[in-house]
Structure 1
Amino acid sequence: MSKEQRQISKSDKDIESSGTKERFTRSGFILAAIGSSVGLGNMWKFPYITGLYGGAAFFLLFTICLLLIGLPVLIAEMTIGRGGRGSPATSLIRLSGQRIWGSFGVLSIAGAFFIMSFYAVVAGWTLHYAVISFGGAIREGVDVEATFNHFIGGFLPVLWQFVVMLVTGWIVIRGASGIEKFNKVLIPALVLILLFLMVRVLMLPGAGAGVEFFLRPDFSKLSNESVLVALGHAFFSLSLGMGTMMTYGAYVDREQSLGAATLAVGGGDLLYALLAGLIIFPTTFAYGIEPGQGPGLAFVALPAAFSAMPLGWLFGGLFFILLAIAALTSCVSLLEVPIAFAIDRWGWGRNKATVITSALCFLVGVPSAISVGGAVNGLHWGPRSFFDWTDFIASNIILPLGGLVVTIFVGYVWKNVAQQAGLTAGWFMLWLFILRFVAPILILLVFLHSSGLLSFG
């Protein structure tokens, strides 16, 4: 080890004393991690890809990918955070003794920052639609597609984006305790709304066909591509590669079982995906809607269905409250990543770091807010808008590379990982084998596929 490495590298005791003093309780950490993984993708992307690749057959494949790849990488990120007691960049430097790994950590931080910049835009849409749904603006006879296009084609999304940043900053500025209290209220509320909406839509005429479509396996639709799609969704649904779980891991007590916490997060993610499917498919089949991927499902097709229901304003409003909760819990974890970095890197207080980071994230997100509906010309390049390009680069390039860095670091670089992981010898050897020889290859394939460099005809 060089002189510089010896100066950077610290013992576990030194890291514990010099690292962040923010702490979650055990239940608070699990709920915060679940809140991070519960997002908008499971509500509008997961039903689409499930229907495309064989219903329950794909759900089974997704579950296998979650268990074999998603959860091992999740434990790795949490372990790095708890071992390094800092932001992703700080933790990687402390645990390796090499500054170059800090640069790789910055990659994940950049991913979280840019995802937050456009994610706040869509979160703002959910709040706007919750307000207008409860207000009765989405009702039978209203052209819901024209309503949506009019909304995103103006500047009102910028205002709602600002509201999201304000709410998220207000929560994060309180540190781990504020994040924990927020998730302890919002996650149970999310589950109750999910169950309530599921019961309601299962009572719709024709809902049974949607349930059958979702839960009946069609293994003939599984393919090489479906495996990579399942892997990619398992990876992204757990918020991996964007530094959130490393950041949250830094707030975990040494006594916390990361294995048990990981199983709880994975179980929560699967339950959310299952309940989302049992809401989306019965609704789409009952009203003859195509469960297409993307915002069109949530903001056009489903509002049309809710407007045709008795008390549709109530169920539509609850649906968008559900989406808003899912979005805000993810926003909190995303914003915490660059804030933790600013506190570590520049020694800022949490108040200063939160205000400056939130403001910058808002400004970077404004072009996304006004590019989707064409409020301002010149924000499209090729087939994608500014919003789409930001999403594509962050989600399909930065995040897989961030996940690849985690597997290589834990599998080959970090020497004292066994002490921090807290796994029994047998589970540790299996976990290390997956991180060294299985996960890197599969993550690389997911990266090649999601970036468009690998296709199956």
Structure 2
Amino acid sequence: MDDQKFSNYELSQKQERFSSAGFILTAIGSSVGLGNMWKFPYITGEHGGAAFFLLFILCLIIIGLPVLLAELAIGRSGRGSAATSFVRAGGGRGWKSVGLLQVIAPFLILTFYMIVAGWTLHYAVFSFSGKLYSGEDFSSQFSGFISGYWPVVWQLVALLISGGIVILGIAKGIEKFNKLIIPSLVVLLLILMIRAVTLPGADEGVSFFLKPDFSQLTAESALVALGHAFFSLSLGMGILLTYGSYVRKEQSLGTASLAIGAGDLIYAFIAGLIIFPTTFSFGIAPDQGPSLVFIALPAAFSAMPLGTLFGGLFFVLLAFAALTSAVSLLEVPVSYAMERFRWGRSKAVCIIIVILFVLGIPSVLSLGHVSALTFGGKSFFDWVDFITSNLMLPIGGFAITVFAGYYWKGAAEASGLSAGWFRVWLFMLRYVAPVLVFLVFLHSSGILQF
């Protein structure tokens, strides 16, 4: 598709716009996915608790907010899919490959992310039914589940739910869904937080999360905090480029960026006040890695009064968080397909869901210990996760800082910042964010190790 077609071709999805509140809630929904409820607690546990959390806040401000604002500004200026935003915002044709990377990455992420979203749906149903707590060996229960074929079914369920929302469009689908789900998430978070902090022995968990011991921090802790600040805001995934194209001209992107960052931070904070008091109350180590949510916490809920109820609420919360991010990820390739192939929204969603389902099957089967799908010490699932999260996203984020900081002549006008704040933003994009994103890439790719 040539540049003339870019300028003349307006698609139906680009004629839709978020309301101001709807945009902020939707952007927060994209950031409060599994990362803050699943990954954030265990990496915080691994890196010393409160001191790591403070470091994460600093990184969110230094690297997260400048890149977040840059993505939104590029998206609104370009008014195209993630693949064409750079070119339509004024970049040369060489930026088309960078934009395409921002479509490929979320597409590949969805092939395994929908699997984990399916796990959360399964655990929500089985927790409320009480079947989750019928035995005491939660490790074997989880291993047996992910090595079977039920995850394929739940993956399809997660895809159908997400597709059903996206197919309704921006205002009637994605925005309406987030306006319903985000307040519901807040209610669930507060209920579970109150239950957690009132458990016997919860004080130790609260102290671990809120009283910093800076001796626990290392150089690796700093890089992990940087990486999580970057990924928790859904940066480098094409989501904010795509959502930016739906933002009204009168929307203040600076204010929106602060609101999105605050929403992400508050969610992580409350998640910590759920996870750590619960784990410490039942003598569970908080640094158990990914198994913390699906193995350790069910053991805690099984021993808790009304554990079936609170466990069910927790996994509903996890499922909601997974689906808000899944919807955001799905909109990126759908927007691209509508623009590139001139498909209607319904056709684009249906075709992409079928492809995602098929491509996700190797990842599901690789967790069932199919030897042909495990190589180099990693399962197929782990390889796709590694390539997208550790390589493609940092590269995409680095490209955004270079484009907005050095190349883009329309950055000042598109950002909507005052002259003083624009200079601060530009300094961060030129001299701070690129260096830090590059360090994240070196660390996450395994080149820089400690």
TM-score of the aligned structures, taking structure 1 as reference length: 0.95
- The letter for the 1-side match of 2:194 is V
**Distance (Å, rounded) in 2 between the aligned partners of 1:226 and 1:292:** 14
Aligned partners of 2:397, 2:135: CA distance in 1, in Å?
A: 47
Percent of residue pairs identical: 63
Partner residue in 2 for 1:222: 217
Matched, 1:151 2:145: yes
Q: Which moved more, 1:220-229 or 1:396-405?
A: 220-229
- Which residue of structure 2 lines up, in the alignment, with residue 368 of structure 1? 363
Q: Is 1:322 aligned to residue 317 of structure 2?
A: yes
1:181 is aligned, of 148, 171, 176, to 176
Structure 1 counterpart of 2:349, from 349, 354, 363 = 354
Alignment of 1:14-413 (within 5 A): 20-139=14-133, 141-177=135-171, 178-374=173-369, 376-413=370-407
CA-CA distance at 1:117 after TM superposition: 1.0
How many residues are aligned here? 448
Q: Tell me if structure 1 keeps the 8 A contact 2:84–2:100.
A: no
Matched, 1:416 2:418: no
Distance 1:391 1:18 in 2: 32
Q: 2:78 corresponds to which letter in structure 1?
A: G
Per-residue CA deviations over 1:129-169 (Å, capped at 9, x if unaligned) read 11111111122643222211111111000000000000000
What residue identity is the alignment partner of 1:171?
I
Supply the distance in 1 between the matched residues of 2:13 and 2:138 (Cα, whole angstroms): 51
Paired AA for residue 342 in structure 1: A
SS, match of residue 378 in structure 1: helix
Alignment match, 2:449 = 455
Q: Which shifted more, 325-334 or 107-116? A: 107-116
- How far apart are residue 226 of structure 1 and its match? 1.6
- How far residue 19 of structure 1 moved from its aligned partner, in angstroms, is 8.6
Q: Aligned partners of 2:243 and 2:441: how far apart in 1? A: 25
Shift of 1:455: 1.2
TM-score, structure 2 length as denominator? 0.96
Q: How big is the shift at 1:18? A: 10
Alpha-carbon distance in 1 for matches of 2:295, 2:12: 51
Q: Is contact 2:165–2:177 with CA below 8 Å preserved after alignment?
A: yes
Give how far 1:223 is off.
Answer: 2.3
Q: Which runs of 5+ in 1 are unaligned?
A: none
Partner AA of 1:281 in structure 2: F
Distance 2:405 2:13 in 1: 23
- Residues 256-314 of structure 1, C-alpha deviation per residue, up to 9 Å, x if partnerless? 01111111110111111111111111111111111235431111110011011111110
**Does the Cα contact within 8 Å between 1:35 and 1:183 map onto a contact in 2?**
yes
Instruction: Report if the CA contact (8 A) 1:154-1:373 is conserved.
Output: yes
* In structure 1, C-alpha distance between the alignment counterparts of 2:279 and 2:242, rounded to whole Å: 38
Counterpart Cα distance in 1 of 2:432 and 2:280: 39
Following the alignment from structure 1 to structure 2, what is the Cα–Cα distance between the partners of residues 257 and 97? Answer: 23
CA, structure 1 residues 17+105, in 2 after alignment: closer, same or farther (shift >3 Å)? closer
RMSD: 1.7
Query: CA offsets per residue over residues 225-280 of structure 1, 9 Å max, x none?
Result: 22111110000000000100000010000000111111111011111111111111
Q: Distance in 2 between matches of 1:362 and 1:18?
A: 26
The offset of 1:83, in angstroms, is: 0.3
Task: Name the SS of the counterpart of 1:288 in structure 2.
Answer: coil
Aligned CA distance change for structure 1 residues 416 and 293 (closer, same or farther; 3 Å): farther
Counterpart of 1:105 in structure 2: which amino acid?
A: G
Letter in 2 for 1:227: A
Q: Which residue identity lines up with residue 189 of structure 1 in the other structure?
A: S
